[in-house]
Amino acid sequence: MTTRKLKCLMAVGAISFCISTPALAADPATDVVEALRSNGCVASSPPELDKVVGNVLASVGPKEMDRIMDGLLKDGSVWRERGIGMVLHPRHCGSNAHLLGHQADGEKLRGIIRENGCSMTEADAKRMLPASGLERRAVGKIVESWTKEGIASVKGGTLVLDRSGC
């Protein structure tokens, strides 16, 4: 259950307007961790990260947000991963840890695709991925991030790694 607080703004005269907004924890870093956890423990692009942590950003401002993210990066609570995005450490993910598209999953998927000639069709994926233990949702996040970063593309229903990915 999300805790709410009332934010009141004074208007002309004695009339005030109150709106309900998500209450932030005493420590904004805790709110960032919780926001990433609620997003499947990953934010696949900077715009997605901004959307996920928007309430914290609005509360503390961009400079403080940078400080918070630097602290989380420094203590290992999150990391940036090429092809995946901002990843929350499994210790913070609880029951969502199995959905985390972390480095091992990305490397495992890249290895499978490399062994298949640096491309993979939907039929290939149905045949090869179940034995790998990779979760379909995690694979989707990884592929989405790879295509956004330009290290992979989808051509005619086939996922193709570029030279840097292969």
Local structure of 163: helix, strand or coil: coil
Longest dimension (CA), the chain: 71
Asked if the model's pLDDT at residue 23 lies above 80, the reply is no
In terms of Cβ atoms closer than 10 Å to its own Cβ (0-12, 13-18, 19+), residue 118 is middle
Give me the domains of the chain, ranges plus CATH numbers.
Answer: 27-99 (1.10.10), 103-161 (1.10.10)
Residue with more model confidence, 4 or 28: 28
The per-residue pLDDT for range 113-151, each reduced to its tens digit, is 999 999 999 999 988 888 888 777 778 888 887 887 778
Q: What is the value of pTM for the model shown?
A: 0.44
**Strand pairing class (4-10; 16-22):** antiparallel
Closest CA to 43 of 107, 88, 2, 1: 88
Alpha carbon 143 to chain centroid, angstroms: 13
Across the strands, what pairs with 158?
Answer: 121, 155
